[in-house]
Amino acid sequence: MSFQISNFQKLRQELPDHVNIVAVSKTKPNNDLLDAYNHGIRDFGENYVQELVAKYESLPKEIRWHFIGHLQSNKAKFIVPFVHLIHGVDSLKLLSEIDKQAGKIQRKIDCLLQIHIAKEDTKFGFDESELDQINFHLLPNVNIRGLMGMASFTNDKNMVRAEFKTLKQLFEKLKFKLPDIDVLSMGMSADYMVATEEGSNLVRVGSLLFGER
């Protein structure tokens, strides 16, 4: 299955105007992305560094590339030159490395801090106390734009909603320290509506737009 424009249009209509959509294209071939691009899509989300670099090199330069996966520190340098927004910054080590690589090429990188909201141990991210300890002024080449989180993989909508609520509260709290933050990235194909109701303004949707992986 290739890019489903009708699903995108439905999604766009369902979501309020202030909610932006990242089309998650990981594992999908260039032609599917190009199809979406030709329908006007400009924001694409990718999880793997090598795949992202390859796609960046062969697809139109107007694309805004969102890195949404788990980024290993030693690979930050490969995407820092062109990435639009890094969603999954989940450690101080990674944040410092992005800052260092960005400084080398005098670019300022927009980042979202990933917060561990799910009950499962498997999801990466900061917790609230770790967030409190970050000295943002020591990182001149990163621009913290907000937070990102993934809810538990469950059919329990109440649990998912509660996790998104927690993230939204953390976002509002962080705003006291960083008044300019404006991006709350939460919601995927299965839970974008709940996420939006709980305050998301950036959803990351893959399978609904490109089919199952």
Ligand X SMILES: *Cc1c(COP(=O)(O)O)cnc(C)c1O
Does 205 engage in binding with ligand X (CB under 6 A)?
yes
Residue list 98-137, contact with ligand X (CB under 6 A) = none
Residue 36 touches ligand X, criterion: CB under 6 A: no
Interacting residue with ligand X among 33, 36, 49, 68 (CB under 6 A): 68
Q: Of 72 and 132, which CB lies nearer to ligand X in the complex structure? A: 72
**Strands (DSSP E) found in 93-207:** 109-115, 142-149, 183-186, 202-205
Beta carbon nearer to ligand X, 87 or 168: 87
Window of 1-9, 138-146, 193-201, 204-212 that interacts with ligand X by CB under 6 A:
204-212
Query: Cα separations (Å) of 144 from 21, 112, 148, 197?
Result: 19, 6, 11, 23
| Burial annotation 83-110 (CB, 10 A radius, 16+ → b, else e) | bbbbbbbbbeebbebbbbbbbeeeeebb
Q: Which two structure tokens, joined as six digits, stand for 212? A: 């199952």
Strands of 97-174 (E only): list them: 109-115, 142-149
Measured from the CB atom, the residue of 96 and 207 that comes closer to ligand X is 207
Work out which of 25, 47, 101, 196 binds ligand X, going by CB under 6 A.
47
Rounded CA separation 19/192 (Å): 10
- Is residue 85 close enough to count as binding ligand X by CB under 6 A? no
Interface with ligand X (CB under 6 A), residue from 24, 71, 85, 98: 24
Binding residues with ligand X: total (CB under 6 A): 14
Segment near ligand X (CB under 6 A), from 30-38, 53-61, 158-166, 183-191? Answer: 183-191
Neighbour count for residue 157 (Cβ, 10 Å): 13
Work out whether 207 is an interface residue with ligand X (CB under 6 A).
yes
SS3 (DSSP) at 83: coil
> In one letter, which amino acid is 103?
G
Least separation in angstroms between residue 140's CB and ligand X is: 27
Chain residues in the site for ligand X (CB under 6 A): 24, 26, 47, 68-69, 150, 188-190, 204-208
